[in-house]
Structure 1
């Protein structure tokens, strides 16, 4: 399992206080992948740039795919640029991967046969691992979940991160999610303005 898969399971589980947008989740998943690549020694972070190392590719398919997409020659890619590039439609890729492995299941949200389908974690060891990390307030998972507005109900206290590179990634993910939300708000205002022009006085 990877931090990104754990984060996906937490994000779609019953614990979040609100629905998580696919764009927000994709950016956070890209951050989670980068954290795991740092932990595996595949990359390091020099200020806000990602520097690829010579370590072997991870065993996980999606994480290996992320490693293969690294910019390995100078000028090195900025963390935030990586999040936007790698994060494109990443939540859909993780959903497909977890559904394929049987770790996600689709259920109807109501009793009627035409009720919308809702994806939720299956009762598997993968789900148990993610739930254990979350219950133990594992610092990296907790910090990445907070980027999505997900926090522990019993406490707002978050364990501190003791790695500068990981801290930089989490901060960049937070900034990217805030930027995406600002873009959504601008689009909403523009659409409302356009509608008012057509509607007339």
Structure 2
């Protein structure tokens, strides 16, 4: 797949997201920690995981299986170097989550933060349904339009500006409609505003029991 994500160094992405003027890395890690605390999932997949922001929040006593999914294999290599010793059996999946060829055994919690801005929601949600255990949870984070802030914030890490032409904001209403069509039901929703002026929508969905059959043993 031709995507600028393959050309952005992880150091640039992490440096950009961690800037105090942006603050998105901290927000996303905090949300992940809150989801882990709320649902105590035995298994979790982070789709669009980059270098593993928030993976230090995973308690292996509660969450015994972790899958990391990203389109950039170099990001996954860095993630493995950081966390393979801490997370036994860490699973790495490099590929396009829009493709049905990218599969992994279903999990109890899927975290998809700032993913849907770069993919077609319908095929991704179909794949995430196949990757979600019955009564499992899908948590998404969407960036909302801003009248004052650029979609891709300016920063010293200029390589990220390559994302601007391929970034398409998805409304919470559209994601809700696509999620329902895929078989998910909404559990909760909230909005977060950062000092930068950017706002985000957090939506949590559940796959009802009997709605999915695991594609392989957990």
Q: Which has the higher contact order (CA 8 A, sep 6+)?
A: 1
Normalised by the length of structure 1, the TM-score is: 0.28
More helix by share: 1
Bigger CA radius of gyration:
1
Normalised by the length of structure 2, the TM-score is: 0.26
More strand by share: 2
